Structure 1
């Protein structure tokens, strides 16, 4: 992934609240809600906080948001990773929220195809074991579930009823630490990074939670925001 500064301030780092170690990506949807992968938030709510590393603040310390509640999708399966999405209720410690005025959620999800952009704070090198404080981005291409199954095999590829999708890049991929981060297509968040076999293996797709099948659930949870 290529580093991008100041773009997409919505993309936050989900951190361990005591060690401040980076765990996953997340997307700030509003002052009171954020989106991440369900497998990223398995512990008690007080174990997490969000840090807005890509928000251009004048101070040295990036703004943070407290995580107040974790709501995993009711059909989330930790074994198959089906429906791997969670809404976080948050308290954003920031006075300037004008940048949150536009909704990131898609108005349509049918016929999703073409190129999209993944954002994350994950490993730069697969073997380094080091995540990044700086946001990175890469271009991916959506692939059909049939193509995904042909490449990954029936056990690794998502099932048609799992609410998941696949995308692949040319030497670009989500990696450890990128989970929970968003896949943007035409300015809207269309997927959340979930899992893959490795990182940036040529032609090998990674699996994402598709927003479309979960859009109604997300909208109902954040409708009062």
Structure 2
């Protein structure tokens, strides 16, 4: 069974048979700081009681955010969203909101992580903020750009295991599912009909705490961080929910809000 952003160990019992033991984790390793006031809609999904950071999320409007489905396995009232990259005055708490409802993709599979996406309904009151809105979503299921940027508040340094206090960004490239399968193997790589995609960086990667954060290509949100094999290992892509592959479902929910 696979878990999140994968920290994976492979025990080979014979030359041709291996038992895969894995732990999926998610993170931006080797990323650069994003100044406050930029990418404000890339927010921190937290435990509503402890305020512990859990995942990334992307706010599309004061009423709607999206994240990875595996980030929201509990009741909505257990989650809150904090706009960490909003420019606050000293000692001010970041703007935040409770999650009112969680809507997971109907084909989300908790074991395989297929269609790992959820819509969060919320109520955020910020008059001075311009939201991303649904114009940042792809227009069709085809034509994805190769050069992309990932964003997140996850581990900055895997050895220290410290969550970043600032939003991080790193550049990655989309790789084909065929290349992804060769690199990760059939037990870890997403299936062709799973609604997922893969991206690879040069010693940069999403890491633990970055699940649900966006993969943005040419100004469009093309993916949400889902899982991978450890963090930033050369030649091993990360796996992301493909927004294009789940676009029909997502746009249907957004239309209901209008």
Q: TM-score, normalised by structure 2?
A: 0.84
Q: Give 1:157's aligned residue.
A: 189
The 10-residue stretch of structure 1 (1-10 or 42-51) with the greater mean CA deviation from structure 2 = 1-10
The reply on whether 1:3 has 2:33 as its aligned counterpart is: yes
How far is 1:100 from its partner? Answer: 4.3
Q: Give 1:167's aligned residue.
A: 199
Q: In the alignment, which of 105, 108, 116 is matched to residue 140 of structure 2?
A: 108
**Cα distance in structure 1, aligned partners of 2:133 and 2:50:** 32
Cα deviation 1:19-58 (Å, max 9, x = unaligned): 0000000000111000000000001111100000112244
The reply on whether 1:176 has 2:213 as its aligned counterpart is: no
Identify unmatched segments of 5+ residues in structure 2: 1-30
Return closer, same or farther for 1:99/1:79 CA change in 2, 3 Å cut-off: closer
The reply on whether 1:78 has 2:110 as its aligned counterpart is: yes
Alpha-carbon RMSD: 1.4
SS of equivalent to 1:76: coil
Q: Give 2:9's aligned residue.
A: none
**Cα distance in structure 1, aligned partners of 2:132 and 2:204:** 28
Q: Give 1:13's aligned residue.
A: 44
Return closer, same or farther for 1:101/1:83 CA change in 2, 3 Å cut-off: closer
How far is 1:222 from its partner? Answer: 1.4
Q: Give 1:199's aligned residue.
A: 231
Residues matched between the structures, number = 225
**Cα distance in structure 1, aligned partners of 2:150 and 2:120:** 20
C-alpha contact 1:31 1:100 (8 A) present in aligned 2: no
- Select the structure with the greater relative contact order (CA < 8 A; seq sep ≥ 6): 2
The reply on whether 1:64 has 2:87 as its aligned counterpart is: no
**Cα distance in structure 2, aligned partners of 1:100 and 1:142:** 22
**Cα distance in structure 2, aligned partners of 1:38 and 1:181:** 12
**Cα distance in structure 2, aligned partners of 1:43 and 1:172:** 30
Q: TM-score, normalised by structure 1?
A: 0.96
Return the index of the structure with the highest Cα Rg: 2
Q: Give 1:34's aligned residue.
A: 65
How far is 1:102 from its partner? Answer: 6.7
